[in-house]
Amino acid sequence: MQVSNENAPTSVLVTSSPTASETSIPPPPLLILIANDNAVSRKLYSMMFGRKWGCEVHIAETAQEAVDRVLRSEPHTYDLVYLSEFRPSMTGTDAANAIRAQGRDEFLVANGLKHELDRFREVVDDIVYRPVRFGDLKRVKDVAEQRRAERLSSAQLQTPTPSLKSLL
């Protein structure tokens, strides 16, 4: 008995499966909340974080507005909350304390003159002294990226992997 091989493929295409880097979706840009009462400073920080480094920037004109935005959002919505110390109605220290009092651990960065920021040290994660230098802003942006990557990696490790039985 002879078997006809007429319809058999004449060649086989072998492809490799894509690597993780080929299939991974780049993370969204950092989301930064800038709380500053000075319009020129807000514009400068927006340009540095937004235009220069591609971050998404939200602006709060008062410390109370910054607190409200953080507390109304899901934890870690903001990768960085940049608080100015000199505020007309609420200081940056008061804002940081209000955020921490609710158990939130967002990356808080204080901005102000050295003598203003002594009270800040216990409630914020980092300090950028005035006059602000480019390198200081880059440093806190890089730390925010690292913290987000660690948080996401930790969340992936804590996600249970389905067993083979549950997939069948």
For 107-152, the pLDDT digits (tens) are 999 998 888 787 788 889 999 998 999 999 999 999 999 999 998 8
- Predicted local distance difference test score (pLDDT) of residue 82: 96
**Tokens matching residue 69:** 């935005």
- Domain range annotation of the chain: 27-155
**Tokens matching residue 16:** 């490799």
Helix (H, G, I), strand (E, B) or coil at 83: strand
**Cβ pair 99, 70 in contact under 8 A:** yes
Q: What is the mean pLDDT of the chain?
A: 83
pLDDT at 15 over 80: no
Q: Is the pTM of this model over 0.85?
A: no
For 50-85, the pLDDT digits (tens) are 999 999 999 999 999 999 999 999 999 999 999 998
Backbone angles phi, psi at 110, to 5 degrees: -95, 145
- Within 8 A by CB and 6+ apart from 148, the residues are 27, 30, 76, 79
Helices (H) and strands (E) in the chain, counts: 6, 5
Domain 27-155, what architecture?
Answer: 3-Layer(aba) Sandwich (3.40)
